[in-house]
Amino acid sequence: MPKKVIKMANKVVLCCEKCGSRNYTLPKKDNVAKRMELKKFCSRCNEHTIHKETI
């Protein structure tokens, strides 16, 4: 039986703009040129803040 090959997606790490904590990882689409910006909950700040894509 042939083995299944799992394709790994490019992952993006989101960093809190306020405290700098890296809280989230998300798959990234290849055709997007801009950096991702989402409003997510930061457990360190204990509030919803803007999270930006890091390198």
Residue 21 pLDDT? 94
Q: What is the pLDDT of residues 3-47, one digit of tens each?
A: 766 555 688 999 999 999 999 998 887 777 888 899 999 999 999
Within-domain flag for 4: no
CB contact set of 37 (below 8 Å; sequence gap of 6+) = 50, 51, 52, 53
Q: Which two tokens stand for residue 20?
A: 């700098």
Domain coverage including residue 38: 11-54
- pLDDT at position 20: 93
DSSP assignment string, 22-41: EEEEEE--TT--SPPEEEEE
Q: How many domains does the chain have?
A: 1
Query: Residue 39 has what pLDDT?
Result: 96
Q: What is the pTM of this model?
A: 0.73
Q: What is the pLDDT of residue 29?
A: 78
CATH number of the CATH domain containing 22: 2.20.28.120
Query: How far is 34 from 44, CA to CA, in rounded Å?
Result: 26
Indicate whether 48 belongs to any domain. yes
Angle at 30 between CA 54 and CA 12, to 5 degrees: 25
